[in-house]
Amino acid sequence: MSAEIRVALEPPYTVHVGRGRLALAGELARERPSVAVVTDGRVAALHGARLAALGDRPWIQVPRGEQAKTLAQVGVLLEELEAAGLDRRSLLVTFGGGSVSDLGGLAASLYMRGIDVLHCPTTLLAQVDAAVGGKTGVNLGPAKNLAGTFHQPIAVVADVDVLATLAEADWRSGLGEVVKSALLESPPSGAEPLLELLERSSEGLLRREAPVLEAVVERCVRHKAAVVAGDERESGARAGLNLGHTFAHALEAASGFALPHGVAVAVGLVLALECSRRVGLLEEPELAPRTVRLLSRLGLPSSLAALRTAEVPLEAAHIEAALRHDKKRAEGEPCFVLPRRRGAVALGVAVDPALVRSLLA
Ligand code: GLY
């Protein structure tokens, strides 16, 4: 069952979720005099045939994962767009995970002061989060997403069929963002809350059954679309989408980006819940063990200890140093999004550094 979710911005756009949806990308690009596709080698090899309608357009390959998210790569990509002859009426199609849509979206927003971009996300993480809402960005050294723009796509095509080939680490990474959405969601009236849906369907989800994937991606996108429509530039409620992310970005940086983003988010959610409990903001204490149980059922780590290995020791001092680089910092100290209860968070909470240190011990 496919879904079309409207992101009610000006101009509005649609997120198409379902099986076999990539065929739409060719239709959406048909009228354009020039189109380029930005992708990575793995996605091109595994799924290039699904974008056969764009097979005769220039395909630009960028490095996989976080390696793509550098200012140097933005420069390389912009030069390639120029070499491909793109002009103001051109369309850039991103075909890949969150790194590809973050980098491609940023290049699209800069090239000739902004050309249209169509996102075709191929990872769970990008389908439920990165490709929706218009955030673009690259990292500045260890600081995640510190250079970026807001540049909304003309549409998003989230074809759940491509999720079948996701590498295990990328798959699990997406599940972390899905659990985040379940904690943030205020369920639409009459619908089963996403948290219950995940608890009930965790086995089907782990088997990547298409109907479960469609339902889960749709629900996450509906939630994100509603938040973004109410606060495109993150002057308020959108900051709630960063639940668990202040910790997660610091964990990723402290790991030298060895940790997949959503895996770091999973532990970031647990740390945010515990932090919220300790500062007295958590009104629904059962949410913490419930989240831990769900993360375990989904094969995700639920504690800092579970992430630490000899190769990636994640020393507290390194995590603390990385927290100070977070872009949500105020006067050099990090600010946190802390959960109050399901569907409600406190934004911009400054937490006593000693408490933060104790959480990282
Ligand atoms: N990933 C958080 C946001 O799009 O605001």
Q: Which atom of ligand 1 is nearest to the CA of 134?
A: 4
- Find out whether the beta carbon of 180 lies less than 6 Å from any atom of ligand 1: no
- Find out whether the beta carbon of 244 lies less than 6 Å from any atom of ligand 1: no
CA distance 291 to 239: 21
CA distance 119 to 114: 15
**Substitution candidate for ligand 1 out of 235, 238, 269, 327 with most atoms within 8 A of CB:** 238
SS3 of residue 244 by DSSP: coil
Q: Which pLDDT belongs to residue 327?
A: 66
pLDDT digits (tens, 9 = 90+) for 312-359: 999 999 999 999 877 666 666 789 999 999 999 999 999 999 999 999
* DSSP secondary structure code for residue 330 in this structure: B
Q: Which atom of ligand 1 is nearest to the CA of 129?
A: 1
Q: Which pLDDT belongs to residue 151?
A: 98
Tell me the domain boundaries of the chain. 3-166, 168-361
Q: Which atom of ligand 1 is nearest to the CA of 241?
A: 2
SS3 of residue 123 by DSSP: coil
Q: Which pLDDT belongs to residue 182?
A: 98
SS3 of residue 12 by DSSP: coil
Alpha carbon distance, N-terminus to C-terminus of the chain? 46
- Find out whether the beta carbon of 133 lies less than 6 Å from any atom of ligand 1: yes
**Substitution candidate for ligand 1 out of 69, 124, 232, 242 with most atoms within 8 A of CB:** 242
In Å, how far are 39, 42, 49, 61, 275 from 45, measured between CA atoms?
10, 5, 8, 11, 43
H or E, element range at 27:
helix 23-29
What's the CATH architecture for 3-166?
Answer: 3-Layer(aba) Sandwich (3.40)
Q: Say yes or no: do domains 3-166 and 168-361 share a fold.
A: no
Q: Which atom of ligand 1 is nearest to the CA of 227?
A: 5
Q: What is the mean pLDDT of residues 285-303?
A: 97
In degrees, to the nearest 5, what angle opens at C-alpha 354 toward C-alphas 183 and 289?
30
H or E, element range at 294:
helix 287-297
CA distance 113 to 93: 17
Band of the pLDDT at 25, cuts 50, 70, 90?
Answer: very high
How far apart are the CA of 83 and the centre of ligand 1, in A? 31
Band of the pLDDT at 53, cuts 50, 70, 90?
Answer: very high
In Å, how far are 45, 95, 158, 207 from 59, measured between CA atoms?
12, 10, 19, 32
Q: Which stretch of 47-56, 248-257, 267-276 has the lowest confidence by average pLDDT?
A: 248-257
Whether this prediction's pTM lies above 0.85 is answered by yes
- Find out whether the beta carbon of 249 lies less than 6 Å from any atom of ligand 1: no
Band of the pLDDT at 264, cuts 50, 70, 90?
Answer: very high
pLDDT digits (tens, 9 = 90+) for 85-143: 999 999 999 999 999 999 999 999 999 999 999 999 999 999 999 999 999 999 998 78
pLDDT digits (tens, 9 = 90+) for 248-261: 999 998 998 899 99
Token pair belonging to 172: 């699990």
- Find out whether the beta carbon of 238 lies less than 6 Å from any atom of ligand 1: yes
Q: Which pLDDT belongs to residue 92?
A: 98
- Find out whether the beta carbon of 241 lies less than 6 Å from any atom of ligand 1: yes
Cβ distance 155 to 244 under 8 Å? Answer: no
Q: What is the mean pLDDT of residues 64-82?
A: 96
Cβ distance 119 to 131 under 8 Å? Answer: yes
List all residues 6 or more positions away from 82 whose beta carbon is below 8 Å from its beta carbon. 111
Q: What is the mean pLDDT of residues 274-293?
A: 98
Phi–psi pair at 70, nearest 5 degrees: -130, 160
**Substitution candidate for ligand 1 out of 129, 249, 269 with most atoms within 8 A of CB:** 129
Closest Cα to residue 347, out of 186, 224, 184?
184
CA distance 95 to 101: 7
CA distance 266 to 97: 18
CA distance 27 to 344: 39
Nearest CA to ligand 1 atom 2: 241
**Active-site annotation, residues:** 113, 135, 177, 224, 234, 238, 242, 245, 249, 261
Superfamily of 168-361 according to CATH: Dehydroquinate synthase-like - alpha domain (1.20.1090.10)
The amino acid that residue 279 corresponds to is: V
**Has residue 189 got a pLDDT over 80?**
no
Q: Which pLDDT belongs to residue 62?
A: 98
Number of neighbouring beta carbons within 10 Å of residue 263: 25
DSSP code per residue over 203-234? HHHHTT-HHHHHHHHHHHHHHHHHHHHH-TT-
H or E, element range at 144:
strand 143-147
Average pLDDT, the chain: 95
CA distance 191 to 360: 37
Q: What is the mean pLDDT of residues 155-182?
A: 97
